Structure 1
Amino acid sequence: MRPVNDQILAVVYGGYSSEFEISVKSGRSVAGWLRNAGRNVYEVIISRKGWWALDPSADGQEQRWPIDRNDFSFTPEGREKITFDKVFITIHGDPGENGRLQAYFEMLGITFSGCSSLCAAIAFDKYACKSYLRDSRAHLGNDILLHRGDLYNPEEIKNRTGLPAFVKPCGGGSSFGVTKIHSLDELDAALNSAFAESDTAIVEQCLYGREIDCAVFDDEYGPHALPLIEIIPRREFFDYEAKYNGASSELCPAPLPEEDRVRIQNEAVMIYHRLGCSGLVRMDFIYGPDNKPYFLEVNPNPGMTEASLVPQMVKAAGMSMETFLTGLIDRAGEK
């Protein structure tokens, strides 16, 4: 493999889900930070219409060259074929967060950032992820799984989760398809919204407490938790408007006593190890009045725009995004 500063990196974004536009913003931010660090970066956009490498020309006009999916390369007109040494995946949702793209790169033998295909597939599916953690010491709320087309008894769901409850697509992010229901009359519409994003849905107990997010990454010394963020939504929950349109306050580092901070970070590191994560992930918790961090979900490819949570955590840790991201991509493939 070429020396670090000579390596050709691909930052991949886009995807096939409702999170396409958010992924584009994340990917362009990551590409910019890596270029600031002196790295040789091409942006690769994936959509249902095709895969393209974006090649800015000297006059600033962006050119698109189709990706050859046989070896994940591209050939600009009049130039030699370009292959990539490593790939930084910033797709949120299908196919870059659910293990499909990771499996493709594993088959080609191309090094990429983040979790393996198996880990990503488990982590991205909310019910599968919680099932993987049930015999660990992780604190989990009650839930029930439904497949599209399943017959279900609303009263049984209520007895399992109570009301209010959250209805979520098992595979999805950015709160697309998520509904908080207060009565069983709202269940059918909530499930329809969830099934618009995924073939499976999870109905979860509504947990009360403080919403705390923790990102974990690994280096040569093992996994480390970044400073915590407390989310204070100005809406009923941390939905799309709260996440991306300013309808929330985000406190970083979270104003927690040291003992509570350590408890949540240790829980996140335990879950990271239990799932077999690598690279960077972000986890969402509800810190209950019983001083237990209740796990909600893990994001294998968290948002990476300048306004996203992870860049705030990195800044609070005293690092630049350039240093942090180059560390992630340089370590990719070492585990």
Structure 2
Amino acid sequence: MKKIAIVMGGFSGESSISLKSGKFIFKNLCKKRYDPYEVHISKEKWVVKIDENHEYSINKDDFSVIIDNCKLIFDCVFIAIHGTPGEDGILQAYFDLLKIPYTGCDFYHSNITFNKKYCLPFLKDFGINVPNYLFINKNQNFCKKNILDKIGIPCFVKPSKSGSSLGISKINKKNELDSALEKAFRLDKEIIIESFLKGKEVSVGVYSFNNEIKVLPITEIISQNDFFDFQSKYSGKSQEITPAKLSFEIENNIIKIAKKVYEILNLSGMSRAEYIVVDKTPFFLEINTIPGFSKESIFPKQLKSAGLSLPDFFHNVIESCIK
């Protein structure tokens, strides 16, 4: 059987969510087809964790591990790290050097999609609708009045490189800008200030097998909070309707744009993107190339709605990247 390293954890505030995703994938991976291992990565250590009392250090020179005096080399890596170093391309570059197959897109496209500073202008140049935005650096001189005059209120302040809505603030009054900037700059030296769009928020899962791009049933998100923040996502403070109640015209338009975004970004494996539908027009917000797979996550609910079993889906993901 092929030995699969399910890599989880990471260096960011999303590590706890990543551990849930990794364990979920481990649980639902077909044990008749694969021999899976939990690989926990943190700033302090990289280990294969067998249970709470037994863990074995990874040799970073070749990503191998010694267990019971036997050297274990993995046939494939299933990357389940949200944030750095799994979603920003760092691990992908590492595995490319070692020539170990891994799930998802490569270093270059992971880096583009994770960094809003690159992703939004890139898609905008291809005719994808995005909110009005501007980027500022931590050490840059900028005029707060000019920012708000250009973007307007309400607006969002976001770290350029962050997921799970960490570090994001919605600005409803001018005097809220300072604290929002401080919050975002704690997570990233580059931030985006983005106009507020009033409309229906939807989440769109996309994957590809055998060079065919497929879109999963769309999810409508209704947050109990002011926006779809970390608490809404992971503490049950939102209503997620799958499939979303959309007109045939709007649904087809979203599917068309979701496929186009996937193609423009040259993605592989799975992704989940967020859009705001204003009137009948979808506006792209952000994309996640390593969707969450915890109990609360949207992507597995979309798979269930599509009638796709998790073991079969994971099998196709692994076999596609090995090929």
| Shorter-chain TM-score range | over 0.9
Give 2:232's aligned residue.
242
Deviations 1:182-228 (A, max 9, x none): 12211121111111111210000001100000011000042111110
Query: Structure 1 residue 176 and structure 2 residue 166: aligned?
Result: yes
Find runs of 4+ consecutive structure 1 residues off by over 3 angstroms: 35-38
Q: Which residue of 1 aligns with 2:305?
A: 316
Write the letter of the residue equivalent to 1:69.
Answer: K
Shift of 1:9: 0.3
* Secondary structure at the counterpart of residue 127 of structure 1: helix
Quote the offset at 1:333 in angstroms: 4.3
Question: Separation in 1 of the partners of 2:259 and 2:182?
Answer: 35
Distance in structure 2 (CA, Å) of the matches to 1:180 and 1:194: 11
Amino acid in the other structure paired with 1:253: P
Partners of 1:65 and 1:113 in 2: CA distance: 23
* Counterpart for residue 69 of structure 1: 60
- Residue 138 (str. 1) matches residue 128 (str. 2): yes
Give the distance between the partners of 2:20 and 2:117, measured in 1 at CA. 28
Residue identity over aligned pairs, in percent, reads 36
Question: In the alignment, which residue of structure 1 is the partner of 2:202?
Answer: 212
Distance 1:316 1:270 in 2: 23
- Say whether the 8 Å CA contact 2:233–2:296 is kept in structure 1: no
Q: In structure 1, what is the Cα distance between the partners aligned to 2:36 and 2:106?
A: 22
Per the TM alignment, residue 307 of structure 1 is displaced from its structure 2 partner at its CA by: 2.1
- Listed one character per residue, the Cα deviations across residues 85-129 of structure 1 (whole Å, up to 9, x for unaligned) are 000001000100001011000111010000110000000011210
TM-score, L = length of structure 2: 0.97
Alignment partner of 2:147: what SS?
Answer: helix
Matched residues, number: 323
Task: Mark the CA change 1:241 to 1:37 in structure 2 (over 3 Å): closer, same or farther.
Answer: farther
TM-score for both structures, normalised by structure 1: 0.94
Q: Give the Cα separation in 2 of the matches to 1:79 and 1:38.
A: 24
Give, in angstroms, the shift of residue 38 of structure 1: 3.9
2:178 corresponds to which residue?
188
- Give the structure 2 partner of residue 3 of structure 1: none
Instruction: Note if 1:283 corresponds to 2:273.
Output: yes
1:254-311 CA-partner distances (Å, limit 9, x unpaired)? 011122111101111100110111100100000111x111000000111111221000
- In structure 1, distance between residues paired with 2:266 and 2:53: 38
Distance in 2, matches of 1:17 and 1:257, equals 39
Q: Distance in 1 between matches of 2:238 and 2:32?
A: 32
The answer for the alignment partner of 2:193 in structure 1 is 203
Q: Name the amino acid aligned to 1:304.
A: F
| Contact persistence 1:99–1:116 (CA under 8 A) | yes
Offset of 1:63 from its aligned partner?
A: 1.1
Which of 23, 31, 48 aligns to 1:53? It is 48
Shift of 1:35: 4.0
**Counterpart amino acid of 2:11?**
Y
- Which of 71, 75, 82 aligns to 1:85? It is 75
Q: Per the alignment, in what secondary structure is the counterpart of residue 137 of structure 1?
A: coil
CA distance in 2, matches of 1:36, 1:226: 26
- Residue identity opposite 1:302 in structure 2: P
Q: Secondary structure at the match of 1:30?
A: helix
Gapped regions of structure 1 (runs ≥ 5): 1-5
Residues of 1 paired with 2:234 and 2:50: CA distance? 28
1:156 paired with 2:146, answer yes
